[in-house]
Amino acid sequence: MKKKGILNSDISAVLSYMGHTDRICIGDCGLPVPEGPERIDLAVKFGLPSFMEVLKAVGDDMKIEKVVLAEEIKEKSQDLLEEVTEYLKENGLEGNRIEFVPHSDLKLMTKECKAVIRTGETTPYANIILQSGCIF
């Protein structure tokens, strides 16, 4: 039995087989999951688990070199954007390592992700793509 890190076996497995520049998406409960990436649906009910809880758990267990967020989060979910950017800043990610794209493009980008993790989050545009860095 694991002592720390991600306990969810599906998320743990995806993180363990990811290589440099591979991507994983964490999204709200309404994010469509295309054919291809593994679907990991954590949603229990609206709001549970929250986007930030899952982002922090996954982010603390992987090396992130870049993130992609929807451009619309800047206008529609400013409080969540502040939380996300503060967390990323605390973990050495800021500036040009945060990319903003139209939400329609972000949804298309999920096709190239190893997995899409859906949370119970209902905040608009609570979706992020994390690009794996190299740990050595």
- Per the CB < 8 A criterion, the answer to whether 26 and 58 are in contact is yes
Report residue 109 CA to chain centroid gap: 12
Helical axes 78-90 vs 51-59, angle rounded to 10°: 20
| Mean per-residue pLDDT, 8-35 | 97
Q: Which is the CATH superfamily of the domain at 9-132?
A: RbsD-like domain (3.40.1650.10)
pLDDT in tens, 22-71: 999 999 999 999 999 999 999 999 999 999 999 999 999 999 999 999 99
Window from 60-74, 87-101, 114-128 with minimum mean pLDDT: 87-101
Task: Return d(Cα 107, Cα 129) in angstroms, integer.
Answer: 10
Q: Using alpha carbons only, what angle is made at residue 106 by residues 86 and 53, rounded to the nearest 5 degrees? A: 40
Task: Return d(Cα 53, Cα 59) in angstroms, integer.
Answer: 10
Bind-site residues: 28, 103, 125-127
The whole-model pTM stands at 0.96
Is 16 annotated in the active site? no
What pLDDT sits at residue 78? 98
Bind-site residues for substrate: 28, 103, 125-127
Query: Where do the structural domains in the chain lie, given as residue ranges?
Result: 9-132
The H helix count followed by the E strand count for the chain is 5, 6
| Mean per-residue pLDDT, 100-119 | 98
- Per the CB < 8 A criterion, the answer to whether 23 and 113 are in contact is yes
Active-site choice (16, 20, 39, 112) = 20
